[in-house]
Amino acid sequence: MDLRLLRYFVAVTQEGNFHRAAERLHMAQPPLSRAIQQLEVDVGSPLLDRFTRPLRLTPVGQLLYAQALQMLARMEDMQTMVRAAATSRRRRLVLGFVASTIYARLPELIREFRKAAQDVELVLVESTTLDQIAALKEGRIDIGFGRIRFDDPAVRRIILRHERLIAAFPMDHPLARQSGPVSLKELADEPQILYPRSPRPSYADQVISLFRDHAIEPRIVHEARELQIAIGLVAAEEGIAIVPESVRRARSHDVAYRELAEPATSPIIMSHRTGDASPELEQMGAVIARMYQQWGYGVPAGLPSLAL
């Protein structure tokens, strides 16, 4: 999808008016209108209700607007990161992470590491677990935080903890209004939203295996590219999703959550290159050990050897 068109769409949405948006973008109104029409053709659906003043978003427009903001923000983050890398002479530690670990206390760890290692430039890169393996081996990242188990002699993995899985429902779903845990059997006929769509294997396969381990074949209606889109589809009443418990803290105004009756968890895994004994890696290990003890999780097995 053309990022230029997304920037135009965001400007029109925020201004609520094509004329003001054109002035903000320093362009004429007719080409801006044509650009939004082209975006609607690309999406296959109207994005704006042009009969209201100010302009209002259609349901599809609301979904695209939320994702466009995230995508444009990521582009800005990437530009900032690349510029900083080009000019900085400080020691660097590059972390790869899957999106769901952002909800699982990774931001707190990052803040504590920055306090403990103020002379180290910390760079964050969102990537899938499988991409992290290649990035670690090629030296593009130093630590990866993911959820998929894998075996590679060049990469050492440490399971930090197991996070409980829960069910996410649209607010008005009948099962959302009930209390107590919900069983997988009750979810058997519900339309399921999986993520990520690719690459595989991934967290999506963990969810599929969870159902199949209980002799249930899930009814999959959507395979979203990432967690944020999956939760957005749940809020839009397209189906339900099995998500890590920490997601509950990030989005609760339009999504309801219930615990699962069956025990189900997803691991949070830290990976690094085998034989890496850098002081930056040791500092991160020390921060994790200290914070996990503080949070009552206990020190993960295998992590103390990294701590200073």
* The predicted structure's pLDDT at residue 307: 42
Cα–Cα distance between 229 and 236 in angstroms, integer?
10
pLDDT for res 308: 37
- Number of C-alpha atoms within 13 angstroms, CB side, residue 42? 14
Q: What is the pLDDT of residue 250?
A: 73
- Report whether 245 contacts 105 (CB < 8 A): no
> What tokens were used for 263?
């025990």
Q: Which residues of the chain have pLDDT under 50?
A: 304, 307-308
**39 CB contacts (<8 Å, ≥6 apart)?**
2, 5, 6, 8, 9, 47
> Would you say 191 and 240 are in contact if contact means Cβ atoms under 8 Å apart?
yes
Q: Which two tokens stand for residue 211?
A: 């159902």
Strand 91-97 to 143-146 pairing: parallel
Mapped onto helix, strand or coil, the DSSP state of residue 133 is: helix
**CA gap 199, 289 in Å, rounded:** 31
* Three-state DSSP class for residue 171: coil
CA distance 265 to 243: 10
Q: Are strands 120-126 and 91-97 parallel, antiparallel or unpaired?
A: parallel
Cα–Cα nearest to 194, from 218, 215, 213, 217: 218
